[in-house]
């Protein structure tokens, strides 16, 4: 077999992630590689931390990108803040709350579950009742933006409840950071993790995290060693700490960190509020077109993420065949359902650089054509007309 250089096809990425990567960020990846302890690189690391402070809306000193994807950011939070024997209240309303539960159990702690239907946000009253029933709980964990369903939970209220019961909060913001408001300090979030490949328009492979002073105190006061050497923040802080000489911990992913730096510069240039408004505006345009095709959203309107739109597959439609048509004929990727929603929904992302009018119109036109091809009774052109009306509104 003759193997040559890999040249991927050019796709439009409108699934649950990764999203399209901005050309400026791709260009940043190609800059010269320097050493991970080079003074110039260390200076860039300090800038990166400042940019993450802006993105997370926090002054937390321990705000860094973990050198691995969002799942490692999740594990970083759990292995550092949870010890064997602890009780952790885990709120689950989709796939990723389940992954939190698995992290808790692998540590040797006990997961107390607060469960809501997939597509619903986390119910604050259920959390309140559970914490009253388990006054010895140490941590509350929940997903802010549940990627498997497109539901947004009320992070501010959930964190207030956790703090009132003397629990630390761990928040999954993988899909929310840069797309909807995330206010770490104002909401009292103790530990939060995200990913670079969604609303930040960057490549996959890094996980921004931030820890409050309360969380750092808990890490330093641990009775058991952190079970992961690589993710032990007591060690990692020596490299990202910024005080005096940096301690070698691992060889950082240098070029991907250039890319994250560039993506955060671009977020600051656009302005957080403008980025949030762009995602919301484009969601309304996409929504108009989807509803004109008779597609129903999984999540009720007030809890619906603008950047991740889950819609129910019409009866009699082969959902996988539709996705295959979009990919092969239009070079357009949308996502399938996960877990309990597998085969039942499509997940259409409008994240970061992918959240633009051209993508919306391409998606609506292609999806309408694919559905008509499968025998769906649709008025041809209605979706694009409805979207255009929303643009002009």
pLDDT in tens, 294-320: 999 999 999 999 999 999 999 999 999
Confidence of residue 248 (pLDDT cuts 50, 70, 90): confident
Asked whether residue 242 carries a pLDDT value surpassing 60, the answer given is no
Asked whether residue 380 carries a pLDDT value surpassing 70, the answer given is yes
- As its CATH architecture, domain 272-392 has Alpha-Beta Complex (3.90)
Q: DSSP for 95-124?
A: HHHHHHHHHHHHHT-EEEEEE--TTSPP-H
Asked whether residue 241 carries a pLDDT value surpassing 80, the answer given is no
Q: What number is the average pLDDT over the span 329-356? A: 97
Q: Pick the closest to residue 81 from 205, 227, 268 (CA basis).
A: 227
CATH number of 23-268: 3.40.640.10
Specify the pLDDT at position 244.
58
Percent of the chain, pLDDT > 90? 94
Cβ partners under 8 Å of residue 7, min gap 6: none
Task: Return the domain boundaries, the chain.
Answer: 23-268, 272-392
Specify the pLDDT at position 238.
83
Specify the pLDDT at position 243.
60
Q: What number is the average pLDDT over the span 343-371? A: 98
Q: Pick the closest to residue 143 from 113, 105, 100, 86 (CA basis).
A: 100
Percent of the chain, pLDDT > 70? 99
Q: What number is the average pLDDT over the span 94-101? A: 96
Q: How many helices (H) and strands (E) in the chain? A: 14, 14
Which residue blocks in the chain are alpha helix, DSSP H?
23-29, 39-56, 70-81, 95-107, 124-133, 155-164, 184-187, 213-220, 233-240, 254-270, 272-292, 319-330, 357-373, 382-392
Q: What is the pLDDT of residues 161-179, one digit of tens each?
A: 999 999 999 999 999 999 9
Examine residue 18 and say whether the peptide bond preceding it is cis (omega within 30 degrees of 0): yes
Asked whether residue 246 carries a pLDDT value surpassing 80, the answer given is no
Specify the pLDDT at position 179.
98
Contact between 89 and 137 (Cβ < 8 Å): yes
Does the model's pTM come out above 0.95?
A: yes
């Amino acid at each position: 077999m003759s193997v040559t250089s890999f040249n991927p096809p050019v796709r439009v990425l409108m699934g649950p992630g990764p999203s399209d990567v901005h050309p400026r960020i791709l260009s940043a990846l190609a800059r010269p590689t320097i050493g991970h302890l080079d003074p110039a690189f260390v200076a860039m690391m300090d800038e990166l931390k400042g940019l993450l402070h802006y993105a997370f809306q926090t002054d937390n000193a321990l705000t860094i990108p973990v050198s691995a994807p969002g799942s490692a950011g999740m594990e970083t939070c759990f292995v550092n803040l949870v010890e064997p024997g602890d009780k952790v209240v885990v709120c689950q309303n989709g796939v990723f709350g389940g992954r939190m539960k698995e992290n808790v159990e692998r540590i040797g702690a006990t997961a107390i579950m607060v469960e809501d239907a997939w597509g619903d946000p986390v119910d604050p009253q259920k959390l309140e009742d559970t914490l009253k029933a388990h006054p010895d709980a140490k941590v509350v964990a929940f997903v802010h933006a549940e990627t498997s369903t497109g539901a947004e939970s009320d992070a501010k209220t959930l964190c207030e409840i956790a703090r009132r019961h003397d629990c630390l909060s761990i928040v999954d913001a993988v899909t929310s950071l840069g797309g909807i408001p995330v206010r770490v300090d104002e909401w009292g979030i103790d530990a939060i993790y995200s990913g670079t490949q969604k609303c930040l328009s960057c490549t996959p492979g890094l996980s921004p995290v931030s820890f409050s002073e309360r969380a750092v105190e808990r890490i330093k006061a641990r009775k058991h060693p952190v079970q992961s050497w690589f993710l032990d923040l007591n060690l990692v802080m020596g490299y990202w700490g910024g005080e005096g000489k940096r301690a070698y911990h691992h060889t950082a992913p240098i070029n991907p960190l250039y890319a994250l730096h560039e993506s955060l510069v671009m977020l600051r240039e656009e302005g957080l509020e403008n980025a949030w408004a762009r995602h919301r505006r484009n969601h309304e345009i996409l929504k108009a077109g989807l509803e004109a095709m008779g597609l129903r959203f999984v999540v009720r309107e007030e809890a619906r993420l603008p950047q991740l739109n889950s819609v129910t597959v019409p009866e009699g439609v082969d959902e996988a065949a539709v996705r295959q048509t979009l990919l092969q004929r239009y070079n357009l990727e949308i996502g399938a359902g996960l877990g309990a929603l597998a085969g039942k929904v499509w997940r259409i992302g409008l994240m970061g650089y992918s959240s633009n009018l051209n993508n919306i119109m391409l998606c609506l036109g292609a999806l309408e054509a694919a559905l008509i091809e499968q025998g769906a009774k649709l008025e041809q052109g209605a979706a694009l007309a409805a979207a255009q009306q929303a643009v002009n509104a």
